[in-house]
Amino acid sequence: MTYNVVLIVPTGIGAAIGGYAGDALPVARAMSQICDRLITHPNVMNGAQLYWPISNALYVEGYGLDQFAKGKWGLQPDQQNRVGLIFDQGIEPELRSRHLQVADATRATLGLNLTDYVITDQPLNVELRTADSGTSWGTIGNPDSLLRAAENLINETQSNAIAVISRFPDDVDATVLTDYRHGSGVDPLSGAEAVISHLIVRQFQIPAAHAPALSPLPLDPEISPRSAAEEIGYTFLPCVLVGLSRAPQFVQQPTLDSIWSKQVNALVIPATAAGGSATLSLTQQNCLIIAVEENHTLLQVAPEPLGIKAIRVNSYLEAIGVLVAHRSGINLDCFRPNLSSLHPLS
């Protein structure tokens, strides 16, 4: 009997833990120690230049995670993917060279299998947007160009995972950017990043992830440790390539070792961000839902008004304790000082 956990920290909602530069990765590392499979997503695992290969973690892009949670797609683990790269035509040659050097470095130094790359036939024209809720979103000016590039890449190189590097605007609101670099507020880029990878995964049903291409920022001595991983180098690409190189493939029919949503034993979410598609789907499974209060976000979407029965805990450390007890089949009520007596049925 395996024990599988889904860990979700939605992107672009200002999560106190996981809302910055891969700063939920320590949570994922710890959680992976007490389950057979940890199913999580790029926002948790991507620390720009930094990453940590977790042997039993499944790196699943958000659209694929939603389909998995619905039971429509399964995850085929233990992959050795050929990762193809798509470059936005809007990226300047020097900035593209920086990214190509990173890609070559992951081949030479980490041994990743990358294919030749494709440049989109039009600039993608990414536009950032902040919703009334304060969360970050975005739209893509030329999504068809992105999808043509992906189709070309898959057909010409037999890539089975895709990294997209697109030019993001440098003129992000100065206050928003400073807040983010100082470890508060919302990642202004991440909502648009998710849209790009969702488009690829929806169309081609293969793993995809995104790295934004940006001009280097001036040195700021007040950078938060939670954001600092994005200050190390010229690109955010290494974590994406490492994650995709072992990302599970999506399958539409059960295979010998594929994993399906009915095999998920527990889901861990921030307590104020219960309104995502994957969370609503997993309530239908016999799955323990743990809501972490300390990981506050910009949102106030609690599980209870949505009809979700969740166990509330204060911290991720407490969540890990709950997972250990749940895995062991131990009644969680025993961990509270007052345990009521049994009563006869009326």
Partner 1 sequence: MTTHFITAEIDLQESPIKLQAAIEAELEKRGEPLRWAIASVDTEKQTAQVEAIVTTK
The string of DSSP letters for 96-112 reads HHHHHHHHHHHHHHH--
Residue selected from 4, 67, 249, 281 as contacting partner 1 according to rule CB under 8 A = 281
Residue selected from 32, 40, 46, 135 as contacting partner 1 according to rule CB under 8 A = 135
Integer angstrom CA distances of residue 256 from 64, 65, 259, 285, 298? 20, 20, 9, 21, 41
Q: Cβ contacts of residue 109 below 8 Å, gap of 6+?
A: none
State yes or no: residue 65 binds partner 1 (CB under 8 A): no
Residue selected from 29, 82, 98, 202 as contacting partner 1 according to rule CB under 8 A = 202
Residue selected from 205, 283, 294, 311 as contacting partner 1 according to rule CB under 8 A = 283
How many CB atoms within 10 Å of residue 202? 15
State yes or no: residue 129 binds partner 1 (CB under 8 A): yes
As measured in angstroms, the least distance from the Cβ of 65 to partner 1 is: 11
Residue selected from 158, 262, 305, 317 as contacting partner 1 according to rule CB under 8 A = 305
- Phi, psi angles (nearest 5°) of residue 98: -60, -45
C-alpha 119/C-alpha 14 separation (Å) is: 32
Q: Between residue 229 and residue 268, which ones bind partner 1 under the rule CB under 8 A? A: none
Reduced to 3 states, what is the DSSP secondary structure of residue 313?
Answer: strand
Residue selected from 268, 308, 319, 320 as contacting partner 1 according to rule CB under 8 A = 308
State yes or no: residue 195 binds partner 1 (CB under 8 A): yes
State yes or no: residue 121 binds partner 1 (CB under 8 A): no
- Buried-state track 90-117, b at ≥16 Cβ within 10 A, e below 16: bbeeebbebbbebbeebeeeeebebbeb
Residue selected from 22, 42, 47, 62 as contacting partner 1 according to rule CB under 8 A = 62
Per CB under 8 A, residues contacting partner 1 are: 10, 13, 62-63, 129, 131-133, 135, 137-140, 143-144, 147, 194-195, 198-199, 202, 273-277, 279-281, 283-284, 299-302, 305-308
